[in-house]
Amino acid sequence: MRNGNVLLTGASGFVGTHILIELLNAGYAVRGTLRNLDRGKDILKIIKPFVPKDFELEFVYADLLKDEGWGTVTKDCDYVHHVAAPISLDVPKDPDAFIPAAVDGTLRVLNAASKNNIKRVVATSTLGAVTYGEKINKEKVFNDGDWTDPNYKGINAYIRAKTLAEKAAWDYMKNIDSNMSLTTINPGLILGPILDPQDAGVSCEGIKQMFTGELPMHPRLGFSVVDVRDVAKCHMLAMENEKAEGHRFLCGGDFAWFSDLGAILREQYPDRKIPKMNMPNWMVHFFGIFNGGVRQLRDDLNRTQHVDIQKTTKILGWQPRSVKEATIATAESLIKLGIV
């Protein structure tokens, strides 16, 4: 029996594909947006082992940079998961390069959803929209009331755009007369099983580079780590739980340095040449000239990111997997897919 109709933006992405699997297993009919409809065949093959034989799924074209189509794709849906977002390992020359798709795209989705009487929009934000804007404080534990300063010079273009997009979403909700509600999910560093060799997830790049030697030493970088399966589950719980209305849910696990992830990999794969040494900070700045992933993160050196997820666990009943499980799941999928 069908539970309802759901629009999922960014259905072919690392997070989007896992949310798609969650929704189909829960009996929802899903309409997934793609910028290239040819990708639909690939996604169907990828999800087939993880979903029931009978499911309702269609792929539709929609572009965050264009007004056209959003009214049509949101029509007759009960819920929207807005996951699509611009992201790249390359650092754009223009710090505002991602804003049109992130901010304007989010507003396009919300506006169309409101006009079509959507019950709830669950939007994917980031812990990056929570944890920047103050001096490093190792004792600081961030909660859902904290906000990143989008003008803080230490953030990259992606985090700036995502922060502005989430702020724009909440401001939009304050100024409309609608029964539609909004909930945002703010994940940390997303690891976990990669399903699609064409989209290995930018956040998994560090694990890949430890295997390939592109990252020969560990930069002093750390994150609140979360498994992509738990991110997908958090989205589902936020959609279905009435008490989730109007909340930001921090979706992060334990804090781990890159060196901690490396230690897990060395223990699990003793025959692989996983880095052992830490990279001096001056070398990170130099290495960032050649490595786009490092270049985006060099302002995060020595920065902790401890977050309070009590509201997420209490209201949603959500519990994250361990850092070790998420890290090994990432590595296993990279090996299985022949990426490393």
Instruction: Give DSSP secondary structure letters for 117-134.
Output: T-SEEEEE--GGGTS-SS
pLDDT score for 283: 79
Assigned token pair, 193 = 């099983």
- Give percent of the chain above pLDDT 70: 92
What is the C-alpha to C-alpha distance for residues 45 and 284, in angstroms, rounded to an integer? 39
Which of 5, 34, 2 has its CA nearest to residue 17? 34
> Which amino acid makes up residue 96?
D
> pLDDT at residue 2 above 90?
no
- The answer to whether residue 162 is catalytic is yes
More confident site: 316 or 294 = 316
pLDDT score for 92: 64
Output the DSSP codes for 158-204.
HHHHHHHHHHHHHHHHHT---S-EEEEEEE-EEES---BTTB--GGG
Among left, alpha and beta (phi > 0; psi -120 to 50; other), residue 167 is: alpha
Per-residue pLDDT reduced to its tens digit, 14-50: 999 999 999 999 999 999 999 999 999 999 999 999 9
> pLDDT at residue 149 above 80?
yes
Per-residue pLDDT reduced to its tens digit, 214-267: 888 898 889 999 999 999 999 999 999 999 999 999 999 999 999 999 999 999
154-163, 184-193, 290-299: lowest mean pLDDT where? 290-299
> pLDDT at residue 148 above 80?
yes
Q: Exactly one of 162, 208, 233, 324 is catalytic; which is it?
A: 162
Kindly tell me the burial class for residue 236, based on how many C-beta atoms sit within 10 Å of its own C-beta (0-12, 13-18, 19 or more).
Answer: buried
Name the 3-class secondary structure at 156. Answer: coil
pLDDT score for 286: 74
- What integer best gives the mean pLDDT of the chain? 91
pLDDT score for 294: 60
> pLDDT at residue 76 above 50?
yes
What is the C-alpha to C-alpha distance for residues 90 and 291, in angstroms, rounded to an integer? 9
What is the C-alpha to C-alpha distance for residues 240 and 295, in angstroms, rounded to an integer? 39
What is the C-alpha to C-alpha distance for residues 175 and 11, in angstroms, rounded to an integer? 29
pLDDT score for 1: 42
> pLDDT at residue 322 above 70?
yes
- Percent helix, strand, coil in the chain, to 5, is 40, 15, 40
> pLDDT at residue 212 above 90?
yes
Region 299-312: mean pLDDT is 88
- The answer to whether the CB of 180 falls within 8 A of the CB of 7 is no
> pLDDT at residue 296 above 80?
no
pLDDT score for 103: 96
Query: Which range scores top for mean pLDDT: 64-78, 146-160, 188-202?
Result: 64-78
Residue in the block written with tokens 């539609």: 180
- The answer to whether the CB of 6 falls within 8 A of the CB of 81 is yes
> pLDDT at residue 87 above 80?
no
> pLDDT at residue 312 above 70?
yes
CA distances to 46, 223, 301, 337 from 334, rounded to whole Å, are 15, 20, 26, 5
pLDDT score for 91: 59
133-142, 187-196, 231-240: lowest mean pLDDT where? 133-142
pLDDT score for 297: 66
Region 139-166: mean pLDDT is 90
> pLDDT at residue 287 above 70?
no
- The answer to whether the CB of 334 falls within 8 A of the CB of 203 is no
